[in-house]
Amino acid sequence: MTDKSAKPGMKPQPMTAAVHAGLAVDAATGAIAPNISMSVNNAFRPGDGAFSAAEAGDLVDLPYLYARWTNPTVRQLEQRMAALENAEEAMATATGVAAIAALFLGTLKAGDHLIISDVCYAGAREMADTLLPGFGIEISAVNLSDLDAVRAALRLNTRLIHAETPCNPLLRLTDLAELAVIAHAHGALVSVDSTVATPVATRPLDLGVDFVIHSLTKFINGHGDALGGILIGRKADVARIRSLAGVYLGAAMSASNAWLILRGIDTLFPRMAQVGASAQRIAEYLSAQPKVIGVSYPGLPSHPQAELARRQMNFFGGLVSFQTRDPHRLAALMPDRLRYIHYAFSLGHQRSIIVYLDTAEMMASTFKLDGAAAADYRRYAGDGVFRLSVGLEAVEDIIADLDRALAD
């Protein structure tokens, strides 16, 4: 979790940036904590260039005009996330899905081809399948852990490859550095949804990727009380997307959510250290249970890409997926048997959450895979997986909860 390129006194270590980036002592009040700025508009002088700069998405001189572009509190969050990803620029959005929509609609046009990870956040995959073809965009869903499959899927008009690593819910990985080499040689861009990894585990831009997306709703805020998303990349690219899809989609982040998420990020590093250590122990515990027939966690030696995980991740994240015998009966028992772990959707909060994702249902609703792609999904997920998002409870209590659930 240390950045060897950060020399003391120069660029701060990521852990330091997590509590300092985007902040300055407030000139008016001397406040050292972020003061929330709720104003929707800020006064400006006609003709000083601020308006045209903002319209072009160029916010370097902080021309706050209207909060759909950004707002001083939202800007602090954007600067902090850019620092954590070692990026030039970031654009916050109301949700993670809004960041993905801004990326797709700001990057792709009719006649372009998108390659999307065949398994990724359901909202992204469904958006690509149901919305984009109507705008004349061609879509291929490809297993991005198989780089030969990526090479085979490239077309002359491939404009963007959208990855997610580790991908939800399989926790299968994509080699981002290799993917970027393949894409760039072909003149295509690479985006990655890094929500599950967080910048604590992986900094995709350092590996050559062009755009990073996060749902800030998850580990980055980490408290389950604010929706948010962010698009991160080069200044010119993010400025262009802000001026088009960002502003016209209208899914701007609210100042109050930015303030909550800034506060969440203050503890991102210690939270992820705790969550990663607990998840490793829980993955090992589950691997030893007779009723458990498969565990996917990038930190286990049994993970098919354990070597890539060690190369690409500083720690192995807070999600563990596992298969059991008789999963439907177990899922039905869980809400009553679990004392601390909530049976619910979503992930990345301070309280542990579990949900069962049935393979046949996921195929029908979202992934629609067949042949080799379906076989690879089943290699990780069998007939279905319990996706456990590890929280900040004592690991002994989480394991005791799982023990109660797995009892006869």
Ligand X SMILES: *Cc1c(COP(=O)(O)O)cnc(C)c1O
Q: Which stretch binds ligand X (CB under 6 A): 95-103, 184-192, 203-211, 282-290?
A: 95-103
Per CB under 6 A, 221 contacts ligand X: no
Does residue 176 sit in helix, strand or coil? helix
Total Cβ atoms within 10 A of residue 59? 23
Minimum distance, C-beta of residue 94 to ligand X, in the bound complex (Å): 8
Tell me if 183 contacts ligand X by CB under 6 A. Answer: no
Residue 240's Cβ-side half-sphere holds a number of Cα atoms within 13 Å equal to: 11
CB-wise, 385 or 405, nearer to ligand X?
385
Query: 3-class DSSP state for residue 45?
Result: coil
Closer to ligand X by Cβ: residue 72 or 169: 169
Q: Which is nearer to ligand X, 6 or 94 (CB)?
A: 94
Give the chain's end-to-end CA distance (angstroms, integer). Answer: 41
Q: Does 218 bind ligand X (CB under 6 A)?
A: yes
Site string for ligand X, 7-36 (x = CB under 6 A): ------------------------------
Residues sharing a CB contact under 8 Å with residue 27, sequence separation 6 or more, in sequence order: none
The yes or no reply on residue 215 touching ligand X (CB under 6 A) is: yes
Q: Which of 63, 96, 276, 327 binds ligand X (CB under 6 A)?
A: 96
Cβ 349 to ligand X shortest distance, Å = 11
Applying CB under 6 A, among 106, 229, 276, 384 the residue interacting with ligand X is 229
| Whole-number Å distance between alpha carbons of 391 and 401 | 13
CA-CA distance, 111 to 325, in Å (whole number)?
46
Q: Determine if 193 is a binding residue for ligand X (CB under 6 A).
A: yes
Helix or strand or coil: residue 114?
strand
Looking at 168, 352, 359, 366, which residue binds ligand X (CB under 6 A)?
168
Q: Is 97 in the site for ligand X (CB under 6 A)?
A: yes
Distance of CA 85 to the CA centre of its chain: 12
- Alpha carbons 354 and 99: distance in angstroms, whole number: 25
Residue 348 beta carbon to ligand X: minimum distance, rounded to whole angstroms: 7
Beta bridge partners of 52: none
* CA gap 257, 261 in Å, rounded: 6
123 binds ligand X (CB under 6 A): yes
How far is the C-alpha of 288 from the C-alpha of 107, rounded, in Å?
46
For ligand X, the binding residue among 70, 140, 217, 366 (CB under 6 A) is 217
Continuous segment of H or E residues that includes residue 404: helix 395-406
**227 touches ligand X (CB under 6 A):** yes
Among 195, 198, 321, 359, binds ligand X (CB under 6 A): 195
Assign 297 to helix, strand or coil: coil
| Interface characters, 344-373, with ligand X (x: CB under 6 A) | ---x--------------------------
* E runs forming strands in 234-328: 292-296, 319-324
What is the binding site for ligand X (CB under 6 A)?
Answer: 95-97, 121, 123, 164, 168, 193, 195-196, 215, 217-218, 227, 229, 347
